[in-house]
Amino acid sequence: MNPWRRVEEDQAVLMVIDFQEGLIKAMDQHVGKNAIRNVQILLSFAKEMTIPVISTEQYPRGLGATVVEIKEALITDPIEKFSFNCCSVDTFSERLDRSGRKQAILTGIEAHICVLQTCSGLVEKGYEVHVLADAVCSRRKLDWEVGLRWMEKKGAIISTTEIIAFQLLKEAGTEKFKRLSKLFK
């Protein structure tokens, strides 16, 4: 698959990896708040454009549930997991396969652990992966930076929420554009 293709609403799956209470508390407050805001924007786009969403929780008994701001926008419950690589979790892989889509929009915590290992798994399975640098975070900036570089070397496209959003919109002037572009103000 050409890694420079436009993200298409009929080919994309939004993945929300481990945006949990215990993990978000460990992030820099500004970074965590911004990542949550960007995931909320992406969830609004997914709803409007009928893009499937797959979310996960890493060991929720220890790390808590998905943060309320995100959980309220989810249609399906997060998949509980213990593996860092979501692709090695049967329920995750089954939902992904059922979607029939080949473009992954990847968000999550932590960039250098679960997001990185999931990205690697997706690339190995032949998915075109778009990692949103402003919707993934780590406790330490260096881990975030190195995680993004590693994912790019594995074949992922490093992007941002706004880049992906406007690729999905394709043009201004439509009712969809008028509704969704307001989310960036």
Domain residues of the chain, as ranges? 12-170
Question: Tell me, what's the pLDDT at 44?
Answer: 95
Per-residue pLDDT of 60-76, as tens digits, reads 999 999 999 999 999 99
Q: For 12-170, give the CATH class.
A: alpha beta
pLDDT one-digit tens code per residue, 108-129 = 999 999 999 999 999 999 999 9
Q: Per residue, what are the HEC states of the chain?
A: CCCCCCCCCCCEEEEEECCEHHHHHCCCHHHHHHHHHHHHHHHHHHHHHCCCEEEEEECHHHHCCECHHHHCCCCCCCEEECCCCHHHCHHHHHHHHHHCCCEEEEEEECHHHHHHHHHHHHHHCCCEEEEEEEEEECCCHHHHHHHHHHHHHHCCEEECHHHHHHHHHCCCCCHHHHHHHHHHC
Which active-site residues does the annotation give? 18, 81, 114
Percent of the chain at pLDDT > 90 equals 88
pLDDT tens across 15-47, in order? 999 999 999 999 999 999 999 999 999 999 999
Place 3 in a pLDDT band, splitting at 50, 70 and 90.
low
